[in-house]
Amino acid sequence: MRVLAICGSLQKESGNLRLLELALELAPAEVELQLFDGIRALPHFDPDNDGTEPPASVTVWRRALRESQAVLIATPEYGHSLPGALKNALDWVIGSGELYQKPVALTAAVPSLERGRRGLDALKNVLLAVDARVVSSAPIVRGAGLEQELLALLLALIDSARGSPPA
């Protein structure tokens, strides 16, 4: 099973990127967790450029989603919403259907439970617009218990993907 991991932050030292790197270590042996770093390469969404031959970076993005059975997104909250680069990436797949009925788990590496929820809610709303199956949407507090919560999230996502039709 392939799970595509996407970081909503473009920062090199992002706490959310570290969370996904930890997920790579925690993933069961039968699961290929692939970290996708291509959202930074996507041009601004423009329906006029989404014809029969979209930009190459868009084709790579769509293929990565299509070839995965599930998606794990870890993202910071920017301005009480999701980061623009992540929203742009999702805009490129609204009409093409790669996320249709695909199980997706959302999280954010946060310093306290009061943080990150608005961004995750905004992301969840976008994903519901493309009929993705949002399995979970909750921040994970950095510190003690992080590994256990992350593993539980990953296992819930995997279980959901096993119960879904093949991609």
Each of the 167 residues of the chain gets a pLDDT tens digit; together they read 999 999 999 999 999 999 999 999 999 999 999 999 999 999 999 888 887 789 999 999 999 999 999 999 999 999 999 999 999 999 999 999 999 999 999 999 998 877 888 999 999 999 999 999 999 999 999 988 899 999 999 999 999 999 854 44
Residue range of the domain that includes 143: 2-162
Please indicate, yes or no, if residue 107 is contained in any of the structural domains.
Answer: yes
- Asked whether the beta carbons of 153 and 140 are under 8 A apart, the reply is yes
Angle at CA 96, nearest 5°, toward 95 and 97?
Answer: 100
Residue 49 lies in a domain: yes
> Considering its fold, how many domains does the chain have in total?
1
Residue 62 has a CB neighbour count (10 Å cut-off) of 17
Position 139 in a domain = yes
Q: Is residue 118 in a domain?
A: yes
**Is 33 inside any structural domain?**
yes
Q: How far is CA 117 from CA 42, 76, 80, 137, 155, in A?
A: 26, 9, 8, 8, 21
Q: Is 167 part of any domain?
A: no
Q: Is the pTM of this model over 0.85?
A: yes
Q: What's 77's domain CATH number?
A: 3.40.50.360
- Residue 133 included in any domain: yes
> Is residue 36, in this structure, part of any structural domain at all?
yes
